[in-house]
Structure 1
């Protein structure tokens, strides 16, 4: 199918495979970043996940430093810093330090996890039945995942509190984004008018992004400030269309970004043939199940281990949206699926994430996709 050329970028969680450890996962992240640069990927972003036994990217700024030191040209950054936990100043200082050692190629992606939700007032609307799974221009749009049950699990709130200093409370998201921008620009003032200088940080050539999974506050904050925006199809495929629409509706042009800039994420696994791709993807359902039942990401199971981790009907229903929207198959099939996602969302860039138990298979997936998409060609 006809495809307008858009960049592909990498989102990495530094996943820990069963039988391996965090040190191995981090070495593999650095290795994948080197290859991604060689194969023509545009950015290499690190996610932020806490208290998950199967993920080594709990401190993305540190891992970004490792990746920046091992690469030369690829952009490096966060996808995304969870602003519910650090202060604006600490974020600017961390990423200002990264910019000092990798000038001009650091991205600061911001997320709202752990933030205080802004209330629009009034009583909540009564729940309505979820829409059925539909296919729009060849892209699967499942019913939105409802996180309420996950957020109410015993221990969830206590785990969140471990990430904050004692007594700290979540800040307003838009205000914190504004503080970051002011610190970078050197215009920040305390409430009594005292100037604050972030060093390193002030004047850093960071590219700011906002990531979001719904048409709510993240999309509105990004649009109102004229910032680039990432819609998380890989996390919340059922809301991607409303998310992108909300961002575009809220967008206010700026000198730096006169038009909306949309990046869309996707979960991908590519192999030479369909049976191999399906076999390599067998651990994905149990892995997502662990996340959505409050355990956090488990060490990623091998295909053989996954055969013993059968999902019952309730568990399969819990993860079905993610199973249905992962792009799995041959290079041509996955490239076609990603092109349809790009066309449907009018994305300017796609952010792909791939997890396999075997590191060589993960490298091969990214290489096959790069070739199928035409990365690195003149």
Structure 2
């Protein structure tokens, strides 16, 4: 698919721990991958915050600093810092420090965490079961599956235990919109405490940090990003059934700001690219097992080895089918064509690609093949 002015591609890396490996190896793989994709022309390198699972991206600010030090030009950031267990000032000081050391290269993505669980508990108490899902549809070539019912997962005892450890005893997740407002005020130097005292973050104030909001549905995050005039990240790789609605809600709510004159959307996608479709399908054959471990409430397991992992059962596959049919797997031309469909239907200004395979070399190859096919890499 080579294009003269292609839509930018970026990277979302969870620093996955492969079966038989460990966290130090995953982190070294992340640094290696960041250097490789920088040379291939990817625009950003984002990491995601996860805890108590087999991924090594639990401390975004620390990892971002290491990635920025290992690279020279690519933007580096979080997609996203979970505000349910972080204070506004802690986030601003951490990312202000990163900006002071690597000026003009840091992205600060913000997401809800504890807030979503509290909302799910309240909704479950008030209305009981979730409504029956709609059928999967194909919209202008893009697969839009039925939205996955998240209430059971969000109200699981394992998640409750995790959040209890991540927060101070007795603490409640603060209002997401208020936290975003506080972060903006601290960055801009006009923050005042509840009693009216002016407080200034150092480092942090006037930092050249690019602020983002991430969301999976047409809910509070999409609305807030639009009203504040911030760029928005829509998670097709997490919630493919609600991504188009999220993007539409963001654009409907958008108000121009000093940051953006018009909406700016990045849409994520899971992709595995290999030299041919069959090889890619083999490399991606345990993605369903990995996703099932998350969907079933156990958290992400070490990424399974395709050579030794039996196929999913029909019952297991049913739980993750929406994620399997919306993963972009195949040869460079196959994946590029499907990604272009995602870009066209969502109107994305940028695509962020997350590629997970058991072997690190296969992951590097996936990003390399896609970069050349998409047209962001220099000709070989």
TM range (shorter): over 0.9
* Cα distance, 1:372 vs structure 2: 0.3
Cα distance in 2 between the residues matched to 1:356 and 1:158? 29
SS at match of 1:182: helix
Alignment of structure 1 residues 65-144 onto 2, 5 Å? 65-115=65-115, 116-117=118-119, 124=127, 127-144=130-147
Cα distance in 1 between the residues matched to 2:81 and 2:321? 27
CA contact (8 A) 1:117 1:172 kept: no
* Structure 1: runs of 5 or more not aligned: none
Q: Which residue of 2 aligns with 1:322?
A: 323
SS at match of 1:316: helix
Q: Which residue of 2 aligns with 1:305?
A: 308
Matched, 1:350 2:354: no
Matched, 1:169 2:175: no
Farther off after superposition, 247-256 or 280-289:
247-256
Alignment of structure 1 residues 1-378 onto 2, 5 Å? 5-52=6-53, 54-115=54-115, 116-117=118-119, 124=127, 127-306=130-309, 308=310, 310-377=311-378
* Structure 2: runs of 5 or more not aligned: none
What CA RMSD, in Å, does the superposition of the two structures yield over aligned residues?
Answer: 1.9
* Cα distance, 1:2 vs structure 2: 9.6
- Residues 282-334 of structure 1 show CA distances to partners (whole Å, capped at 9, x for unaligned) of 1101100000111111110111122x2x3222221110000000000000010
* Cα distance, 1:123 vs structure 2: 6.0
Compared CA separation, residues 286 and 125, structure 1 to 2 (3 A): closer
- Residues 242-292 of structure 1 show CA distances to partners (whole Å, capped at 9, x for unaligned) of 100110111111132010001000000000011110110011011000001
Cα distance in 2 between the residues matched to 1:357 and 1:268? 14
SS at match of 1:303: coil
* Cα distance, 1:128 vs structure 2: 3.3
CA contact (8 A) 2:2 2:372 kept: no
CA contact (8 A) 2:99 2:208 kept: yes
